[in-house]
Amino acid sequence: MLKEGTKLLVYKGLIRWSLMAVLPFVVLAVISSQIRQTDSTQTIEVPKNFCELDARDKCIDGKCIRYDPKKFAKSPSIMTYFPGGRLGNMLTTYLTLYWLKLEFGYDTYYEKEAYYFLDKIFTNINGTVSVLEDSLCDWHQFGFRKYEGDVELLGTDSWMTGQAIEIYIAKENFMRHEIQGGRKFYKKFKKQSLEALTFKPQIQSYADINLRNIAKKVGKKPEKITYVGIHNRRTDYLEFRRKRLKLDNLYEDYFEDAMEYFREEYWDTTVVFVYVSDDMKWGRRNLKDSKNLFFLGCGSGNDLDCIAKDFALLGSCNHTITTHGTYGHWAAYFAGGEIYTEYGSIIPGTL
């Protein structure tokens, strides 16, 4: 348990860490959203294979829902959220849409490219949200309105009918994560989230085999080991962190302090560390003398198989040491244990 005197500091750190986790996703989403403007004057074309809005629940594969302004005005609202980035950003937008569907019953539509990217990694996302481009005959015709506000307020009657809503954060507000809200959904819908985002068998098997191999190398049974995943994002983020956030980069002393923290906290087990980074060479060069540290990350942000396996490794650990970015943020969510940040350790449920 955290000491009472440090709770306020850690709470402030939690807020700042959360802000930093969403920064890459916000910046890229803003750029992507600029090209998705709706032309309200365009002619509405009737597709050959379509379903009507008032019968959307009966729409079968191969057909899409056509826009009818008269029917839509009286129909349940729809919602989308564009990721504008890689896996971490995709998970942020996917889970937000899924949570809003669970909380308020919205019909949610997710960008096709991101949907099929996640579908290659996870087993159960089919049916949790719909594919935007496949499900709506021409999604531009629905006139999606940008909503930059607390998503927990979208359950009011004024939003529930006749609205096409695009969750959105403006560039100037990228440091104000409290605008979007939704923090309560992390815990409320965690069971459903992890069920929907179950790793494909071959990806989970990769993580399990590697963790078992670590146990053999240290001569302990897996149940006698505390696995701590380390995600060290570097490359493109370092300059952004220095210039935009005005923060110093994190060096080896940060990771050494973090590892020592877990060794002291979980002294009655064998603590091992699984290092994943987009710059594996830096870790091998600067942390090579650390006890029970295993450099298992693939490290390529352009290879889907690599991205998935690294994420599964982190998500299969007991605790997480993280730096910044949505990738590490969600890996810690999957792991479920303590999250060590530059602002202190966050213990789920104690704040």
Task: Give the DSSP per-residue string, 106-155.
Answer: -EEEE-HHHHHHHHTTBSS-BTTBEEHHHHBTTGGGG-PEEE-S-GGGTT
**Among the three residues 126, 157, 192, which one is the final residue of a domain in this structure?**
192
Structural domain range at position 246? 200-346
pTM: 0.84
Are 253 and 323 contained in the same domain?
Answer: yes
Residue 230: what residue type?
I
Are 137 and 228 contained in the same domain?
Answer: no
Total domain count, the chain: 2
Planar angle of CA 199, 205, 209, nearest 5 degrees: 140
Q: Which residues of 150-173 are buried (b: 16+ CB within 10 A; e: fewer)?
A: ebbebeeeebeeebbbbbbbeeee
Residue with more model confidence, 343 or 69: 69
Query: How far apart are the C-alpha atoms of 7 and 265, rounded to whole Å?
Result: 17
Query: Which CATH number does the domain housing residue 298 bear?
Result: 3.40.50
Would you say residue 79 has pLDDT above 70?
A: yes
Are 37 and 135 contained in the same domain?
Answer: yes
For residue range 121-162, what is the model confidence (pLDDT) as tens digits? 999 998 899 999 999 999 999 999 999 999 999 999 999 999
Beta bridge partners of 225: 270
For residue range 111-129, what is the model confidence (pLDDT) as tens digits? 999 999 999 999 999 889 9
Are 323 and 296 contained in the same domain?
Answer: yes
Are 180 and 293 contained in the same domain?
Answer: no
Are 259 and 297 contained in the same domain?
Answer: yes
* CA distances from residue 156 to 106, 118, 160 in whole angstroms, order as listed: 12, 30, 7
Are 188 and 213 contained in the same domain?
Answer: no
Are 149 and 215 contained in the same domain?
Answer: no
| 4 assigned to some structural domain | no
Would you say residue 15 has pLDDT above 90?
A: no
Would you say residue 188 has pLDDT above 90?
A: yes
Are 119 and 34 contained in the same domain?
Answer: yes
Alpha helices in the chain (DSSP H): 4-33, 69-72, 87-104, 112-119, 132-135, 157-160, 184-188, 190-196, 201-218, 235-243, 252-265, 280-286, 304-315, 326-335
| 9 assigned to some structural domain | no
